[in-house]
Structure 1
């Protein structure tokens, strides 16, 4: 190895290892939302119902929720290059299988394999960033990361809309294959290992509990409907119970062996506050990401491509603002960004409660840009503050828990707004209200619920420090000293 990748990055430069991982992460995250517009084509080509076709997105989210809890352990046991090879190799295999899938079942399997690779990339990127970038430069580099991971989900529906205008849904995978192959090859040429792998056996019981518990929780949340609450609630309760058993087992393994997910990260007060803030903000954001396309397509009659183009400015603004937010964080700290950002999120969601059949599109675009810019001002500092409060040996576990709770929050936010919207509109229709007016009223109430959630984000933002005090490195890996600030 010609250079020490863990050495501090030169001033103003993003380390090569981070550039490679950001590029790869952009491609794999893009695929999480790229199938949203393809549902009608899948229904026709593979002869499945709409509910069945939705599984190409649901299965992706379920797999992420089931796999991410294991990544904290995995990233400590293998080298950076090995983790990258596994993640990109698995993603390539899933993409290739999806492209040639002769049936919906095979396509679903391909999406699950894709998600397995994607689940490793985000924690790998965050863990590596926190290891190789010095504290005074993390905001700037995290801002560049935000650009990639924010723009990718926003671009997914737009790219798929363009592709589907001229070709089959299979081209969504065919076009990704060579790009992923080139990025994988470039990464293996340039990537250097960061840190040293640690020995340690995996606990199969913990893996099963995490996969079934978190997967079951997300599955149950994804099945909620206004006229079907009992069954999904039972699945959610079972998932939550298994997660509780998983947590108790991790506490025991912390004393006697190697935990799959080290819960001592929660002893760091700043990390825990950041975790709550991120989860609730994700809940509010994903709820609005579901509601806005439903409003634009089902009520205003826009095509999927037009819908994608209308929300694209917000996604681009969020991503392009990321580096600026990062530099401001490095200079002034987190509070001056996170508090206004959290207020902006609540204001944007409150604005969406005023939607109508005649609301000008420029107002919708302005509200969406306000929300996405506010999220950019919030996410970059909160990621950096939260993980910065942990000792280095817990970075991978902190990233893993953050990623897991994002998936759970996304599922919970989606279930919450869809259930509230459906229940309200069904109730109004039963009372004789016009269906379109009822649907619109249901959406307004769902946006109001999201705005109420955003008030929690404001409270948590006020509790965060401006900077995370650097924790002392632990002498023993089983007894880290954590900052409680």
Structure 2
């Protein structure tokens, strides 16, 4: 019986045309990630063009993350309701429509709506990409494959700001979206030609209450944290109510999932300790990456007075190094396991953030490039090994749930990280202004802003230290290749 099961599984793996499937997914994923971060550099420009405040401009990123936070949890169920091809085509159609609407948008409200439609595409695509790769690639080669995903996911945000900066200087911010459009169309055509159905469509019963609780829970938390970056700050009733409602909804959601025979997200995945640690470390990494990706361009443009293009150019080496390190880390992970990558990685990241907390208006270009590159090397040593090791511990039937949990919490971490960084930065600036004799004096604006930026990096360093403590508990998961189940 066992021998026939093995034979059947090997046959199934062999019949997939792995390379064309990977190309379709990675091209679509690359553009999805590119448009998620390319707008960060354009925020200063958009504030002037659309006459909006930094807190309002932040909503272009927040609305994107909020949509992902609501839709990604449902993805585990969608993977069981629709075929791989159907979901891929739907994801690309949403992405193409959202990108086109953003490219022609005349106002902030219109652009915000376009970002939500774009995010609907990304929300379907990310879990589909991870789940498909887990199914079509043998466990012993998984580190290298996840490294390739890492290369795509990290290089896109790295070159996003540079290309966006160049487009803003030469043309206008609309061109960030015009540039993405043809690539999305190519990915769609490639997917229609080569995408294969890799999952079984089981159509489990849909539990409306679970969907509602999950949407209110994740949506409430993302909305609450994001709103804290606005003028009223953490004390605002809107922020407190949103976070409390979000947390209560998530607790009710969790209790309901544990009682159901066919849960929307199977939270029993958290019974596997390496998965739980992997989730926590990915959460911390996303907070560190996305908060520094938001703060650094702001500092370079407002603190140092650089153009959008130059700010993007300064962040390019770090992003490219991170992308190139990802496949190397994947191969090292396959060979040596996660522990000897994750611990040094977090020490490197925490050290870089500590140096960043001493950044001033006089800091040199070399200082910024070296530190940013060092931070990105540290993150690349943690992100993919922690993620792959965690998912490797799950049995095959929990892969859709595991990828849904990982991807959801990445988006929530991104929203919480950026919101905390912006509010810590604002609070730092305000506390500096209280210490000066004349807060109305324009000479005080820059030192106040610098103190806010320094405080935001201290927050990032604290998060990296929490991750480092967790890293000492990481153990390598050895997958039984014959049955594709973890050994304990």
TM-score between the two structures when normalised by the length of structure 2: 0.90
**Contact kept? 2:257, 2:264, Cα under 8 Å:** yes
Q: Once structures 1 and 2 are overlaid, which stretch shifts more, 220-229 or 301-310?
A: 220-229
Q: Report the 3-state secondary structure (helix = DSSP H, G, I; strand = E; otherwise coil) of the residue aligned with 1:34.
A: helix
**Contact kept? 1:9, 1:133, Cα under 8 Å:** no
**Contact kept? 1:267, 1:482, Cα under 8 Å:** no
Matched, 1:229 2:234: yes
2:139 maps to what in 1? 135
Q: Report the 3-state secondary structure (helix = DSSP H, G, I; strand = E; otherwise coil) of the residue aligned with 2:198.
A: coil
1:119 maps to what in 2? 123
- For residues 256-303 of structure 1, the C-alpha deviation after alignment (integer angstroms, 9 at most, x for no partner) is xx2211111111111001011111222222222222222212211111
- Decide whether aligned partners of structure 1 residues 53 and 437 sit closer, same or farther in structure 2, where only a CA change above 3 A counts: closer
Matched, 1:169 2:173: yes
2:13 maps to what in 1? 7
1:374 aligns with one of 375, 378, 382: 378
1:477 maps to what in 2? none
Q: Report the 3-state secondary structure (helix = DSSP H, G, I; strand = E; otherwise coil) of the residue aligned with 1:7.
A: helix
Q: Once structures 1 and 2 are overlaid, which stretch shifts more, 406-415 or 221-230?
A: 221-230
Gap runs ≥5 in structure 1: 475-480
Matched, 1:351 2:355: yes
The aligned length equals 471
C-alpha separation in 2, matches of 1:96 and 1:42: 18
Matched, 1:160 2:164: yes
1:328 maps to what in 2? 332
C-alpha separation in 1, matches of 2:40 and 2:197: 36
- For residues 453-475 of structure 1, the C-alpha deviation after alignment (integer angstroms, 9 at most, x for no partner) is 1111112221111334559979x
1:178 aligns with one of 176, 182, 191: 182
Matched, 1:395 2:399: yes
- Decide whether aligned partners of structure 1 residues 39 and 363 sit closer, same or farther in structure 2, where only a CA change above 3 A counts: closer
Q: Report the 3-state secondary structure (helix = DSSP H, G, I; strand = E; otherwise coil) of the residue aligned with 2:233.
A: coil
**Contact kept? 2:392, 2:486, Cα under 8 Å:** no
C-alpha separation in 1, matches of 2:430 and 2:47: 26
C-alpha separation in 1, matches of 2:10 and 2:299: 52
1:266 maps to what in 2? 270
2:213 maps to what in 1? 209
1:171 positional shift: 2.2
**Contact kept? 1:6, 1:194, Cα under 8 Å:** no
C-alpha separation in 1, matches of 2:473 and 2:74: 30
1:478 maps to what in 2? none
Matched, 1:439 2:449: yes
Q: Report the 3-state secondary structure (helix = DSSP H, G, I; strand = E; otherwise coil) of the residue aligned with 2:286.
A: helix
- Decide whether aligned partners of structure 1 residues 5 and 317 sit closer, same or farther in structure 2, where only a CA change above 3 A counts: farther
Gap runs ≥5 in structure 2: 1-8, 438-443
C-alpha separation in 2, matches of 1:178 and 1:147: 21
2:255 maps to what in 1? 248
TM-score between the two structures when normalised by the length of structure 1: 0.91
Which of the pair is proportionally richer in helix? 2
1:28 positional shift: 1.3
Q: Report the 3-state secondary structure (helix = DSSP H, G, I; strand = E; otherwise coil) of the residue aligned with 1:229.
A: helix
**Contact kept? 1:75, 1:124, Cα under 8 Å:** yes
C-alpha separation in 2, matches of 1:306 and 1:410: 25
Q: Once structures 1 and 2 are overlaid, which stretch shifts more, 145-154 or 329-338?
A: 329-338
C-alpha separation in 2, matches of 1:152 and 1:283: 18
**Contact kept? 1:9, 1:132, Cα under 8 Å:** no
